[in-house]
């Protein structure tokens, strides 16, 4: 018996056992959605499919045991008809955050990718959807995608009819397209001298006020966080970061460090929002120098690069697509054999896919596996049990589907 045949039968049995026992978790207004499926034994995607009842879905999953299951973010009058005849009625606003879209993700192992994309998901929900757009917790549904990311659904009446263009504008806002620092930073007039009873006034930028919203609020917050972080670092490390991330020359960076941290002016910037604190050292350091710091902040990965996780890598942006297919909740992801798991917003930080999204019915029964090429990770924990990766291993059933389908092992 070939290892690959045994492996295939094992995975098919896992799918069959899983779908014979679960109670399907169906999306809102599921009878108005299109469904689509991919199977082990057929090429391509089986679509369109529509269901009239939860019982129909349960029976379908039990009989077909799909490898991948999807549903449309859109609502249709006739979801099973060809696309031209469906009659689009509206669509959820959906964000698909995938570690594959994070710059540099190819240099991260699976666990590192999961942690990175979770950071982005928290940023998207808290800083953008709730703070900037004003959505409430009850407007947002969150799912682990089953593989390397998260799906964030905004389900509110006012977003259902948004056009593709309106949805793309939301993405543009989140990705910081067209940010103009001269618009973000307010300006004030300050007196820098006097000649014959005439004040010498200079127009100078400052940080946005504490009660500002949107990108102005983010700019002040991120500037404060950066200065606090730099204050805890060694001088040579700060100067190196100024040079490499913000394009500031070595001499200027040294002068800036002296002004900010040796003379303590960074505290005044955080407290009062005043940027023009370099009056005694204008030949080397001035407010324009500090504007470079802010420009660097707004280009950093934790702000603008979030857009690379929202935008799909092959076709239309997920958020801008009003007819997109997305993973079916509580289904198995065929690439990892983890469950597309619903998560509360409050539990996201503690959520561990390899603990919380492993199918519950899998047992401790042991299986022998072998790797062809070892995965790029030395050890991994599944259901709180740590495994050191070796060429040949004995592992419990609950870890086997993940090791086989995600890490590339075969059953012996």
Residue-level pLDDT at 75 = 93
Going by the DSSP 8-state scheme, the letter that residue 371 receives in this structure is: E
Find the farthest-apart pair of alpha carbons in the chain and give their distance in angstroms, rounded.
Answer: 99
In terms of Cβ atoms closer than 10 Å to its own Cβ (0-12, 13-18, 19+), residue 100 is: middle
Cβ atoms within 10 Å, residue 260 = 23
Based on the residue annotation, tell me whether 132 is a catalytic residue of this protein. no
Residue-level pLDDT at 283 = 56
**pTM of the predicted structure, to 2 decimals:** 0.82
Q: Measured on CA atoms in the order 225, 230, 232, 233, is the torsion positive or negative?
A: positive
Which pair of tokens denotes residue 136?
Answer: 């409430």
Helix axes 250-257, 287-299, angle to 10 degrees: 100
Which pair of tokens denotes residue 180?
Answer: 């103009």
Residues found in the chain: 412
96, 139, 276, 321: which one is catalytic?
96
Give the β-pairing of 198-205 and 379-382: unpaired
Whether the upstream peptide bond of residue 48 has omega within 30° of 0, thus cis, is yes
Cα–Cα dist 196/215, whole Å: 42
Contacts 24+ apart (CB under 8 A), 207-210: 207/269, 207/273, 207/274, 207/275, 208/184, 208/273, 209/273, 210/273
41, 197, 315, 346: which one is catalytic?
315
Going by the DSSP 8-state scheme, the letter that residue 384 receives in this structure is: T
Domain residue extents for the chain:
19-172+307-356, 181-299
Residue 93 bridge partners (DSSP): 154
Cα–Cα dist 137/154, whole Å: 10
Cα–Cα dist 106/198, whole Å: 61
Is-contact 281 270, C-beta < 8 A? no
> What is the Cα 90 distance to its own chain's centre?
24
Cβ atoms within 10 Å, residue 21 = 11
Q: Choose the CATH number for 19-172+307-356 among 3.40.50.150, 3.40.1360.10, 1.10.1740.10, 3.90.920.10.
A: 3.90.920.10
Tens-digit pLDDT profile for residues 73-126: 999 999 999 888 999 999 999 988 888 877 778 888 999 999 988 988 898 898
Cβ atoms within 10 Å, residue 26 = 19
Tens-digit pLDDT profile for residues 316-369: 455 656 678 999 999 999 999 999 999 999 999 999 999 999 999 999 999 999
DSSP reduced 3-state for 151 = strand
* Average pLDDT per 10 consecutive residues for the chain, totaling 412 residues: 74 95 90 94 88 95 96 94 91 88 82 90 89 92 95 89 86 79 78 66 79 86 90 95 89 90 91 77 68 78 54 46 86 96 95 96 95 91 95 96 95 92
Which pair of tokens denotes residue 178?
Answer: 């067209």
Residue-level pLDDT at 200 = 65
Based on the residue annotation, tell me whether 98 is a catalytic residue of this protein. yes
In terms of Cβ atoms closer than 10 Å to its own Cβ (0-12, 13-18, 19+), residue 372 is: exposed
92, 98, 139, 276: which one is catalytic?
98
Is-contact 39 61, C-beta < 8 A? no
Contacts of 162 (CB under 8 A, 6+ apart): 91, 93, 170, 322
Residue-level pLDDT at 312 = 42
């Amino acid at each position: 018996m070939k290892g690959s045949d045994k492996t295939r039968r094992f995975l098919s049995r896992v799918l069959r056992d899983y779908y014979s026992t679960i109670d399907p978790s169906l999306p809102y207004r599921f009878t108005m959605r299109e469904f689509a499926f991919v199977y082990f034994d057929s090429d391509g995607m089986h679509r369109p499919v529509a269901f009239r009842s939860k019982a129909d879905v349960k029976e379908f999953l039990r009989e077909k045991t799909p490898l991948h299951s999807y549903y449309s973010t859109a609502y249709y009058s006739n979801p099973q008809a060809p696309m031209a005849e469906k009659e689009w009625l509206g669509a959820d606003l959906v964000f698909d955050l995938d570690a594959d879209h994070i710059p540099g993700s190819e240099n991260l192992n699976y666990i590192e990718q999961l942690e990175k994309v979770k950071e982005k998901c928290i940023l998207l929900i808290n800083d953008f959807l709730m703070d900037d757009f004003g959505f409430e917790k009850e407007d947002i549904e969150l799912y682990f995608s089953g593989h390397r990311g998260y799906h964030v659904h905004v389900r509110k009446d006012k977003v259902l009819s948004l056009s593709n263009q309106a949805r793309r504008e939301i993405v543009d806002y989140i990705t910081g397209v067209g940010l103009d620092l001269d618009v973000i930073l307010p300006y004030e007039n300050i007196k820098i001298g006097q000649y014959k009873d005439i004040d010498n006034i200079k127009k100078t930028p400052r940080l946005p006020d504490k009660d500002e919203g949107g990108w102005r609020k983010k700019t002040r917050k991120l500037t404060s966080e950066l200065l606090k972080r730099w204050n805890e670092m060694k001088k040579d490390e700060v100067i190196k970061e100024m040079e490499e991330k913000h394009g500031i020359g070595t001499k200027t960076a040294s002068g800036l460090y002296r002004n900010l941290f040796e003379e303590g002016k960074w505290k005044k910037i955080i407290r009062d929002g005043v940027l023009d604190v370099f009056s005694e050292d204008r030949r080397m350091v001035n407010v324009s120098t500090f504007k470079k710091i802010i420009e660097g902040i707004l280009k950093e990965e934790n702000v603008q690069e979030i857009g690379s996780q929202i935008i799909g890598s092959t076709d239309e942006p997920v958020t801008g697509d009003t007819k997109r297919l997305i993973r079916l909740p509580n289904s198995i992801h065929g690439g990892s054999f983890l469950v597309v798991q619903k998560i509360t917003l409050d539990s996201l930080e503690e959520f561990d896919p390899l603990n919380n999204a492993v199918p519950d019915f899998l047992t401790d029964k042991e299986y022998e596996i072998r790797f062809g090429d070892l995965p790029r990770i030395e050890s991994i924990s599944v259901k709180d049990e740590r495994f050191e990766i070796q060429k040949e291993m004995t592992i419990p059933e609950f870890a086997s589907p993940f090791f086989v389908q995600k890490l590339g092992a075969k059953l012996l």
